[in-house]
Structure 1
């Protein structure tokens, strides 16, 4: 009977979940309940899904407010009324409009005006669908109000926001966080009344004993309301049901496209290919997923038309239909991809397609989808209060000094020694942790629905400018809405831009490139040798130190090996201990037969009986534990965190164990296999997913092999990758490039290449303003290169501070004039505030100044580069106070195997990790004096004694070891080496040279 109930999706206002609300109602013998969050419908679908389990009839509504100021409560009489309410709220959220004090005329929804609002705004006339809400607190004032005469319009409206005092205190803290004020300064009007609680129905009846008609009116109103969403296992998908307008036309189109794709994809169409296609098409039609495939085909077809690169991956890559429609580039026949992972009769949801576009192209594709289809929205997600974040927020609310907040966030305290205020912060931090903080956007999910999206929830409009649902992917799938994942990644931007760079830098070769000729790439010895030797810097998914190490250990030199490596590197395989076992079985013939259980080896012969791919979970559950395919899929989804029913998951786990015992397996074996499954499944890739990644890796590797400099420029221009930009620049130099600092005549905003000369982009000058870069490029494009500093100043609007950056990086080196002299000129020609605001009709006459002779050393240049670019273009070893005492490098590791080595290295990257016992250790990748890469390990005893102190050169003493042919150094001692003092500041101490001079006219 409660018409106005809030959950914690009344953001920064409510205090408990929709399930806790249902529990509360059950405890108070409430059988009908209206969920009305403030300007939000996030909880509605799950509320309807779970209510029957509590014996409660769910009704949906919205508490419309401006801030915390109530306007009215809308309650849906049916699903059409819910749609009306969502349309109304979404219109106001999208356009940032205030909610009016008077509701519009809803056809299928009723409106409740709170008693106080009716008095405040002197509302007198009410339509059939409008009522006045009376809370228990209002009963004291009702007899003295003329509203008491409007008997048919009065209903029971007791807001429910709290369960107890703790909830009320949490609410006040949330309101203080939302208002960004100290708790002591929180205005009373920003809080809800502490009496907004749910009372047992007998207490309510007693309170309203003098006004029983109010409860009767409320009962009649609630009895008019019915809401339904289908959450059953056999529910129909709610996605766009037909692509062309009818199921028959859709089925004809998909058959036509598949037949056309057969001749494109296969030189010979064998019976096995045709049978696989017929099997898939039959099941896709039976499950009603034809339109889902055709929509994905539409999206990638538009990408083809626009020349956008993309990669289709996810479980859908297991499908030959997806391959023929060119949604993916993975041949499931070649890889023997497990069809049942892609789709089976036990799955209500369609396959998952993740379509990656270049980060530059993705916004255009998103916009296309919104224009192309009618009912489209981005999928929402909830950003929750995290432990560290909520401590910071509450620390501010309680007025703690920053240093005390930092101390609490670090977590290194003795709880018994904290003061009462700090204890309160931690106490309420624990209560708020995990609660929704605000609505955000799923990483790539887009919904395309048959019904209007407001049938399911309201939408809001985040900064991206596209309507976004107020619920997440889990409840979307529960109700039958399956997302289309449109993702952005930089790897595709690198490939596309590399080809564009080759087109202008080596036009004679560009016409011969077919970047989609994956079959020839797979058999190219040069490319495969790059993989085997781990020369993969800048290449998608295979450039990290961990991947480089794995490729060497596995001696990967083919596509199938790379597909496996792409999944083995995932945390699950490593955590289960099976990555090492996989390497051992790969390198030692006969070990698989010796170590693997015969059933496991029979299920997964290609991976030596080791679970490597996500579908292996299904295979093991189905063949090893005799679970049916539906139960096996429950297992996989439960472990991936995408499945909501933990009870159902536990039943499947119990059946897994009992079935294995019935088959006579020993408990030791059962739990060994179960632990492998449990530690592995949540992190594993589907095999098709790994294969998709491997395709993109091969495209990247082809470009690195044959067009290395162009590719490195593209890598840099697309945000780099795993490493810092300076290491891609270093790699380009190692491959023969000449690297030039930014230059006003040769550099663009991004990096550019001429032959083997790479000119760094002005974007690396961290303090140079974008508008200055744009002016320089525009002026140079329109009127030609600059001939002198004076010519530059005549043509480009710039401040002396911005000009100094360009001079210090030697961007005017074409003049042949020392940069110190140019700096003097700049200061003499431009006063500090002179920005040359007005273009000049005639070239100005320049005064000549007598300037003393000045010199610039290479060391000064290096330190200028360090300051302005973040790295120097010379070898960092040239900056050491004491030169290295030896020339040992990566090339010497082989002859020092199992011996100790003294070696110097410039830090590339370091990975800090913990052992199983929680002790700290480090893996560091270094560049030696010769520019080659080597790897070091600091085990816990050494890591406790030595640690990395940022960028720079370190001297190591340690033992060279080999694991499966991969050489690394187990560090015993380590010391960071000192750079020479910055010579620019040394000069300032000894001379007045850099002081601004007085002008001396010649």
Structure 2
């Protein structure tokens, strides 16, 4: 009986979820219900999925509005009708067009015009599928209206937006937020009515007892509507099912590709390789995943045709088929990758292929996918109201001053000291917190479907210009829609750019084949970088935590790096198994302490769960769960899926089975707690291996072409560390760093031999257009000869020119910066108006006799800190006090358990919350020789000895050692003063 209901996906209008709507309907004995969110279909698929649980017939529709002004409500009579509505809405959303007053001629949808709208339009003619909607409140008007005689066209349109007064108050606040106005300024036309609530079926029929024809008409249109999507175990994949013309053709193509390419991967394929390939192909065919593999292969083939570099990872990296045809570069035979993690007979979804491209090339790949395939869209993600956002928005709505809003958003603890208005903000903030705020684009998900995208959802058109559905990945998978993950990352861009830079800087070298990963893995020089923690700039292995872990593990091979990539994750680390793994890795005699059952299941990791597939193995072989149940367990731990009843059932069965097998309670719960600690964090082994492949490619470049590689790192936004630290690392590799120069520098950094010229783009206040003018002028007409020549050729303000002079970009003139600044002021004559056009004729510059004024390195350093954000000279050369006797990193190991003083330049600092909720701080410094040392600042020291930005710190503490890796437990630290700017500014 309800054909116009809203969930909170009627953004900043509705006040409860689609599931709450179903619960409300059930409590009111409603057996059929239409979800009609305003210009939105986000909740539709989940509404249909959940309706069965509540015994309610779901109907889908859309409430078409311009702002809060309702134009008409449409109900889909079937799935095709839902598609019609989505096409119509999407067209208006994409082009930001207003919804018309009259609906188009829908073939499979019912149109309901609200009574007030019909009065306004004075509409007298109605098509077969057009009706007039009347609410309980509007019955009084209907009695005196000409439309009371349109008996066949009148239906109940009791809008449901709120449940009670509290919802109505929240609704008004959401409307004020949406309109960005004070609550007191909100117009009634922007609100729903306080009476837009759901009555029980008996109450509703009682209200319409004088109009039985309206009740009958409403029941009739409800009966005409039906919608059907398959969910859960009943679902079938909605992805593009054929790559060619038939399943047989697709399978033959996949087999042919494997046959043609197998010798690229295996020179002489063993029986083990052939058998694994046969089993995989059969399983892929049986489970209908052939087209999924071929589509991924198509995308990779295009990438290679454009000379793009990619990394294929995810559970699909466990596949030998994916390895042979080039989707991934991970050999599942070499790594003994668990086949059932990739595909098992109980798995309804295809394996994950997360395919990384350079961040510069990802959009090109996305464009290709949209052109190559027919039914394509991006996946959505919901951005919800978080605490701080709610407080800020409601604070504005209630008219609180900014200072009070800032205070409220920072500190939840001061609730007892709030005035009445601030208390209201907190009270209603709790009500709105967690509501969807807007629909955004998933970071990497692309859908390629059999049916048109609009069969499932309307689409938005975000700024990037690709249609985006209005539902998220969880709903997508529930209905059988599985995303293709196309990601952009900077690590691959660094590799590709480094290859280009090497080609330019060392033109005599033969081309480098970066795909020779097998050769890189066996290179002792590259492996030494890992073992010694010298991998700064290399993808995934440069962070302080990875650097320390690899030194503790003494990682010096590919297999070790694969393990380290997963051990570092919070799941393994948080359970205490990281420490245990290091012990068993370093001390082989300790391995026999492992539980023999677990050691037999996971011999390579010494009986410790390290990878996602270890959860599958342990659940199956240790606890006796089926592979299907084990996969439910793994997916439940992944953090991506809702907490579902089947997961709790599997947990119970895990414990029950273990008890039946006679395991001790302590062992059962030790293993179960290890599994639980994996939640959302552990990698599939193939995923770790894919990261390791890219790490080895980066390490090869860092080892043999360090300067070119570091320039590529800097040009791609760095990585874990600041640009300043990567510049330090470049110096450590033998590079000579020069500040920007107008005759040499580009927008990005460039290298000539060992000389690296910082890019003009590093100058934070230099305008992009000014840089473009400089580079264009220099490219067309040659280098600049003097300051006067530059001023004649480039349109520039005195403020922008001052930046270039202060950074010493005119040093080729041999004139001091101070003299150049005075000349610039005289020559540009700042009192006169400037033109944006170049001068037609050169003007004659006056010559000024200025006293010779020299600058020094301290002044230069202060200018560099202001303009670049960091000095180009060593911080140790800037300190203004004498250093006391201290220890260097190379002496560390001789000082274990002793208190020592060390001096270091801060590289990185990060906080960690201890189990008691208090903060610890971890820092990384470099000593005077440029070597790293790490410090731990325990709770008492964190506040007493704060770390205040970059510079040199005196660090006094106790040297501790763990598996050969030393660090400093800080007793006290202080920042050293810098020499003052001699100019007194």
The TM tier, using the shorter chain, reads: over 0.9
CA–CA distance in 2 between the matches of 1:251 and 1:724? 49
- 1:779-798 to 2 correspondence within 5 Å? 779-798=777-796
Alignment of 1:39-188 (within 5 A): 39-188=39-188
- Matched residues in 2 for 1:111 and 1:74: separation? 5
Task: Look up the SS of the partner of 2:984 in the other structure.
Answer: helix
| Aligned-residue offset at 1:895 | 2.5
Deviation per CA, 1:539-594, whole angstroms, max 9, x where unpaired?
A: 00000000000000000000000000000000111111111111111111121221
Shift of 1:234: 4.3
Q: Which residue of 2 aligns with 1:992?
A: none
Give the one of 648, 652, 655 matched to 1:654.
652
The residue that corresponds to 1:13 in the other structure is: 13
Deviation at 1:180, TM superposition (A): 1.0
Q: How far has the Cα of 1:629 moved from its partner?
A: 0.4
Equivalence for 1:911: 910
Say which is worse superposed, 914-923 or 116-125, in terms of deviation: 914-923
Distance in 2 (alpha carbons) for counterparts of 1:36 and 1:510: 64
The residue aligned with 1:257 is 257
Cα deviation per residue 1:922-975 (whole Å; 9 max; x = unaligned)? 110011122221111112222242221222221111111111000111111111
Q: 1:793 to 1:836 in 2, by over 3 A?
A: farther
Q: Separation in 2 of the partners of 1:665 and 1:2?
A: 56
Query: 1:747, 1:905 → 2: CA distance?
Result: 31
CA distance in 2, matches of 1:722, 1:510: 31
**Matching residue of 2:354:** 354
Aligned pair 1:275/2:275, yes or no? yes
Q: What is aligned with 2:759?
A: 761
Aligned to 1:290: 290
Match of 1:924 in 2: 923
Q: Distance in 1 between matches of 2:103 and 2:849?
A: 79
Alignment of 1:856-875 (within 5 A): 856-875=855-874
Deviation at 1:642, TM superposition (A): 2.6
CA deviation vs aligned residue, 1:151-194 (integer Å, no higher than 9, x gap): 00000000000111111111111111111111112122111111
1:794-846 CA deviation, whole Å, 9 max, x = no partner? Answer: 11111111000000000000000011100001000113355453333433211
Which of 699, 723, 736 is equivalent to 2:697? 699
**Distance 1:27-1:766 versus aligned 2 partners, 3 A rule:** same
CA distance in 2, matches of 1:387, 1:245: 52
Q: How does 1:173-212 map to 2 (within 5 A)?
A: 173-212=173-212
Give the secondary structure class of the aligned counterpart of 2:64.
strand
Residues 881-923 of structure 1 deviation map (CA, whole Å, 9 limit, x = unaligned): 2132236321221222222211111111111112111121111
User: 2:406, 2:599 → 1: CA distance?
Assistant: 53
Partner of 2:556: 557
Separation in structure 2 between the aligned mates of residue 940 and residue 199 of structure 1, nearest angstrom: 57
Give me the whole-angstrom Cα distance separating, in 2, the residues matched to 1:55 and 1:898.
69
Measured in 1, the distance between the counterparts of 2:837 and 2:159 equals 64
Give distance in 2, aligned partners of 1:921 and 1:452: 53
Distance in 1 (CA, whole Å) between partners of 2:808 and 2:834 is 21
Q: Please state whether the residue corresponding to 1:332 is helix, strand or coil.
A: coil
Give the distance between the partners of 1:234 and 1:385, measured in 2 at CA.
34
How far 1:431 moved relative to its partner? Answer: 1.2
Provide the rounded CA distance (Å) in 2 between the counterparts of 1:212 and 1:234: 40
The TM-score, its normalising length taken from structure 2, stands at 0.99
* Structure 2 contact 316–342 (Cα < 8 Å) conserved: yes
C-alpha contact 1:877 1:883 (8 A) present in aligned 2: no
Residue pair 2:886, 2:901 contacting (<8 A) in 1 also? no
Give the corresponding residue for 2:676: 678
2:415 maps to what in 1? 415
- Asked if 2 retains the 8 angstrom alpha-carbon contact of 1:614 and 1:681, the reply is no
In structure 1, the residue matched to 2:495 is 495
Match of 1:773? 771
How far residue 442 of structure 1 moved from its aligned partner, in angstroms, is 0.5
Please name the residue that 1:989 is paired with.
none
1:591 aligns with 2:590: yes
Q: Structure 1's 45 and 930: CA in aligned 2 closer, same or farther, altered over 3 A?
A: same
SS at match of 2:138: helix
Report the equivalent of 1:951: 950
Contact residue 444 and residue 486 of structure 2 kept, 8 A? yes
Aligned to 1:527: 526
Give the whole-Å Cα distance in 1 for the aligned partners of 2:540 and 2:380: 28
Residues paired across the two proteins, number: 984
For 1:842 and 1:608, how far apart are their aligned partners in 2? 80
CA deviations on 1:214-264 (whole Å, 9 max, x unpaired) are: 010000111011110011414221000100121111011000001112111
Q: Relative to 1, partners in 2 of residues 1:847 and 1:836: Cα closer, same or farther, differing over 3 Å?
A: farther
The separation in 2 between residues aligned to 1:761 and 1:607, in whole angstroms, is 46
Indicate which of 665, 668, 673 corresponds to 2:666: 668
Q: Does residue 217 of structure 2 align to residue 217 of structure 1?
A: yes
* 1:426 aligned onto 2:426: yes
SS in structure 2 at match of 1:112: strand
Distance in 1 (CA, whole Å) between partners of 2:91 and 2:200 is 37
Match of 1:742 in 2: 740
CA distance in 2, matches of 1:879, 1:962: 32
- Verify: 1:366 aligned to 2:349, yes or no: no
CA gap of 1:414–1:774, structure 2 versus 1, over 3 A, is closer
Q: Which residue number in structure 1 is paired with residue 967 of structure 2?
A: 968
Alignment partner of 1:300 is 2:300: yes
Tell me the distance in 2 between the aligned counterparts of 1:422 and 1:672.
Answer: 47
TM-score, with length taken from structure 1? 0.97
> C-alpha distance in 1, partners of 2:862/2:344?
63
CA distance in 2, matches of 1:172, 1:801: 49
Mapped pair 1:828 → 2:803: no
Aligned 1:983-1002 pairs, distance under 5 A: 983-985=982-984
Distance 1:510 1:144 in 2: 91
C-alpha spacing 1:247/1:414, structure 2 compared with 1 (3 Å): same
- 1:896 maps to 895
Matches of 1:751 and 1:720 in 2, distance apart?
A: 12
The answer to whether residue 398 in structure 2 is matched with residue 393 in structure 1 is no
Q: CA deviation at 1:324?
A: 1.0
Question: How far off is 1:23 after superposition?
Answer: 0.3
- Name the stretch that deviates more: 476-485 or 872-881: 872-881
Contact 1:617 1:681 in 2 (8 A): no
Counterpart CA distance in 2 for 1:806 and 1:183 is 50
Greater CA drift, 283-292 or 835-844? 835-844
- Range 679-688 or range 557-566, more displaced: 679-688
Partner of 2:721: 723
Asked whether 1:616 is paired with 2:611, we answer: no
How many angstroms apart in 1 are the aligned matches of 2:197 and 2:619? 48
Deviates more, 1:487-496 or 1:641-650: 641-650
Preserved contact between residue 235 and residue 478 of structure 2 (Cα < 8 Å): no
**1: CA distance between counterparts of 2:846 and 2:944?**
62
Offset of 1:858 from its aligned partner? 1.2
Counterparts in 2 of 1:700 and 1:61: CA distance versus 1, 3 Å: same
Deviations 1:456-477 (A, max 9, x none): 0100011111000000000101
> Post-superposition shift, 1:415?
2.5
Name the counterpart of 1:481.
481
245-254 vs 60-69, which deviates more?
Answer: 245-254
1:320 maps to 2:320: yes
1:510: how far off? 4.2
Match of 2:405 in 1: 405
In 2, distance between residues paired with 1:419 and 1:913?
Answer: 34
1:499·1:510 contact (CA, 8 Å) conserved in 2?
Answer: no
Tell me the secondary structure at the aligned position of residue 817 of structure 1: coil
What secondary structure, in the 3-state scheme, does the structure 2 residue paired with 1:13 have?
coil
Q: CA deviation at 1:492?
A: 0.2
Q: Deviations over 1:418-448 (max 9, x none)?
A: 2222221111111111110000010100000
SS of structure 2 residue aligned to 1:428 = helix
CA contact 2:886–2:900 (8 Å) conserved in 1: no
